[in-house]
A = this chain, B = another copy of it.
Amino acid sequence: MDMVDFKEILKTKNLKATHQRLAILETMDSLGHVDIEYLYELLLDKYPTLSKATIYRNLKELIAIDIISEVKIPDMPTNYEINKIPHVHLVCKICNKIEDKIVNTKHLIDEATKEMHYKIETSNISLIGVCPKCLDKQS
């Protein structure tokens, strides 16, 4: 299905496909959203000598070349995700899970820019509440 060839992508950006870098991308791809601490923990299993400096450096580089982005949500550590089609984040404040949902935002942007004359290029939308699973547990 979701066979992204990160080696190829890195090559086109003139970055070497090191094990660490690929592992970062693959972990992010499979998890969807990760924060630095958790990413580090996970990768330590596979690369016991992995340095946090490597993670910080790589995340910055990957952001700079537009392969990943920061996901900033109030009261949560910054998360990171692989760039894909623009989408909205559904955030559960009970279990802290983040899900993606593709939504048409044209309507919203039109209304927001009406009389404001901004030229909007990207949008960053998080909807925060309770996910179905946690709703069930509550009742």
Copy total for this chain: 2
Residues of B within 8 A of A135 (CB): 117, 119
- In the complex, the answer to whether A119 meets B123 with C-beta atoms within 8 Å is no
- In the complex, the answer to whether A130 meets B125 with C-beta atoms within 8 Å is no
Residues of B within 8 A of A36 (CB): none
- In the complex, the answer to whether B88 meets A124 with C-beta atoms within 8 Å is no
Question: Closest CB-CB distance, A4 to chain B, in whole Å?
Answer: 22
Show 26 residue pairs from A and B whose CB-CB distance is below 8 angstroms, ordered by the A residue. A70-B74, A70-B75, A72-B72, A72-B78, A74-B124, A90-B113, A90-B116, A90-B118, A93-B121, A103-B108, A103-B112, A104-B111, A105-B108, A107-B108, A109-B127, A112-B127, A117-B131, A117-B132, A117-B135, A121-B128, A122-B128, A123-B125, A123-B127, A124-B126, A125-B125, A125-B126
Q: Is A52 interfacial (CB 8 A cutoff)?
A: no
- In the complex, the answer to whether B124 meets A73 with C-beta atoms within 8 Å is yes
- In the complex, the answer to whether B129 meets A118 with C-beta atoms within 8 Å is yes
Residues of B within 8 A of A16 (CB): none
* Nearest CB in chain B to that of A124: its residue: B126
Residues of B within 8 A of A116 (CB): 90, 99, 101, 132
Question: Closest CB-CB distance, A87 to chain B, in whole Å?
Answer: 9
The 6 closest A-B pairs by CB, nearest first: A72-B72, A120-B129, A117-B132, A124-B126, A121-B129, A70-B74
